[in-house]
Structure 1
Amino acid sequence: MKEITVEDLVRKFSLKVLAGESKLQNPISQSRVHRPGLEFVGHFDFFPTERVQILGKKEVTYLHKLSKEERRIRIGNVVQYHPPCFIVTCGEEGLTYLKKHCVEQGIPLLVTREPEITSDFIVRLDAFLIKELAEKVAVHGVCMNVSGIGVLIRGNSGVGKSETAHTLIRRGHRLVADDIVVLKKLSPQTILGTHDEKTKEFLALRSIGLLNVVRMYGRKAFQDETRISLDIHLTKWEKDGLYNDLDQEINTMEYMGVKIPSIEIQLQPGRDVAGLIEAAANNWYLRQQGYNAAEEFMSRIEADMNHE
């Protein structure tokens, strides 16, 4: 199971450490956070102790209103489970008692640099944790964002994946990753494509060398990540290997249990592969909107036959 540490959160969100400096290497393995409201009033049946605990204005105001003894009991009941850390989003004023408990139990107590709306902070933190803790694999290929649609382009070495990507970039589409594409499973239906940092913004072209697409074509030529909606497999031309059926059966490629629609495009000199990928992406989008060109064509044929 993949883990990050509390220190990773401190760096990512510029958090202030009030207590537990020696425990910043505490592991975090859960991709959701928790607000311990019910736990402070004594309900522990479903307390997710392994999650990051968030204290907003609601929780802190409640604790402030308790008597000293009652507060000691309520907080003590929670910190004894040793969650990875506490993060307070409403400022550090009046948190001396909470800091004392965290020091005694060795739990990092963190505070946002400026008071934040707790729900907004949770959304950002959850999104970060989901991406960082996601199951992932690396595949050989190119990842592009074509008209807002994430496309994974695969094929044997030398088949022309990067050259096709270069043509797409010049047509206004965006590179995400070349050569090594990192796929992350964000949900049972969602695969995110990104780079491995080392190859960020780079595109390798045979006979030309390594290109930095941002330096050459501007910031619009690159983006960090995209949801993969379409898998394109580039293959060598095979005589009689193409079909002209009105509506091809949609195949799928499976990554970490998630099935992605997959299309094979055969290569031949003079064939506009980049244009075919654009067409495939746009056609996928229309299908998501409920439109099917083959169905409309057949309905016209049937209407014409009925008219006769």
Structure 2
Amino acid sequence: MAKVRTQDLLDRFNLELLAGEDGVHREINTSDISRPGIEMTGYFEYYPKERLQLLGKTEMSFFNDLKPEEKRDRMEKLCTDITPGMVITRGMDVPEELMIAANEAAVPVMRSPHKTTRVISRLTNFLEVKFAPFTAVHGVLVDIYGIGVLITGQSGVGKSETALELVKRGHRLVADDSVEIRQEDYDILIGNAPPLIEHLLEIRGLGIINVMTLFGAGAVRSHKKISFSIHLETWDQKKQYDRLGLEEDTMKIMDVKLPRATIPVRPGRNLAVIIEVAAMNFRLKRMGVNAAEEFSQRLTNMIEQEKEGKNE
């Protein structure tokens, strides 16, 4: 998990620093953002002081109606030694009581000209990405017709060669060999390549090739949502493979279950075309078209018709 400091918010969102500049290197340890509305009334029993604090029009309107001694008390309690920062929205004026308390406690006070909801949304999205669970998977990630397909399998089974053929067919490479995956939401996985091997593809007997240099910028992507997984394995004569497509297999990455198809590999099979069709078929299923279920229904109807004919 990457470290996030208050200075990162200043750099990323071009916020105006007004006070507490000694605390810009404080760490932010959670993506949750607090709007201290009830704290303005004086109730600090459950004040989440470790969170980034955001003051909008509602909080500031209530604060302006307080007595001078209440204003000082509220701001002194809001600015603690672990509070990573205070953000004022809508370009509102910052109360003198907050400026004094923030400088004493070294709590950065930042101001944004944008609306409160927009600021919260952008800050939350940024922090959610930074604090998202992270892992790395051995495989290849390719964007096929807008579907992020993670190709896995044993070393030497042909993942990189298949990815090269897919790139030649007009699809885009995201990562080869090692795919860094972060879980941005409870059901969303985003994959990208480690910076060291970005845009690179390893082909045994040929070596390292730069896909962007060879095929152009349109042949690569920096990151992609992973929607489907394909596992390549050496053909096993004793194993029964799914021939209809009715069985639905999954693989679990962190807390997310990905639909997965297993494709046996043997000489003469065009893996790139098979994976391309698998991605298109997956896309059709998401649109409500399932060829395997349609075939099964046709077969069931035909059997029932034959039974009715014999009974007559």
Provide the TM-score with structure 1 as the length reference: 0.87
Q: 1:307 to 1:251 in 2, by over 3 A?
A: closer
Are the aligned partners of 1:82 and 1:105 in contact in 2 as well (CA < 8 Å)?
Answer: no
2:229 aligned with 1:238: no
The residue that corresponds to 2:259 in the other structure is 261
Q: Mapping of 1:1-308 within 5 angstroms?
A: 3-80=3-80, 82-91=82-91, 93-112=93-112, 115-241=113-239, 243-308=241-306
Q: Which runs of 5 or more structure 1 residues have no equivalent in the other structure? A: none
1:143 shift after superposition: 1.3
Q: Which of these two proteins has the greater Rg computed from alpha carbons?
A: 2
**Cα deviations across residues 133-158 of structure 1 (Å, max 9, x unaligned)?**
11211122111222222221112222
Q: 1:275 to 1:102 in 2, by over 3 A?
A: same
1:164 shift after superposition: 1.4
In structure 2, the residue corresponding to 1:216 is in which secondary structure? Answer: helix
In structure 2, the residue corresponding to 1:175 is in which secondary structure? Answer: strand
Provide the TM-score with structure 2 as the length reference: 0.86
Q: What amino acid sits opposite 2:131 in the alignment?
A: L
In structure 2, the residue corresponding to 1:145 is in which secondary structure? Answer: strand
**Cα deviations across residues 232-256 of structure 1 (Å, max 9, x unaligned)?**
2222233354535323422222222
Are the aligned partners of 1:2 and 1:29 in contact in 2 as well (CA < 8 Å)?
Answer: no
Percentage of identical aligned residues: 39
Q: Which runs of 5 or more structure 2 residues have no equivalent in the other structure? A: 307-312
In structure 2, the residue corresponding to 1:198 is in which secondary structure? Answer: helix
Q: What amino acid sits opposite 2:109 in the alignment?
A: L
Are the aligned partners of 2:175 and 2:193 in contact in 1 as well (CA < 8 Å)?
Answer: yes
1:172 shift after superposition: 2.8
Q: 1:212 to 1:197 in 2, by over 3 A?
A: same
**Counterparts of 2:119 and 2:218, CA distance in 1:** 28
In structure 1, the residue corresponding to 2:152 is in which secondary structure? Answer: strand
Are the aligned partners of 1:84 and 1:108 in contact in 2 as well (CA < 8 Å)?
Answer: yes
Instruction: Report the number of matched residues.
Output: 306
**Counterparts of 2:109 and 2:209, CA distance in 1:** 45
**Counterparts of 1:77 and 1:288, CA distance in 2:** 52
**Counterparts of 2:206 and 2:61, CA distance in 1:** 63
C-alpha RMSD of matched pairs (Å):
2.6
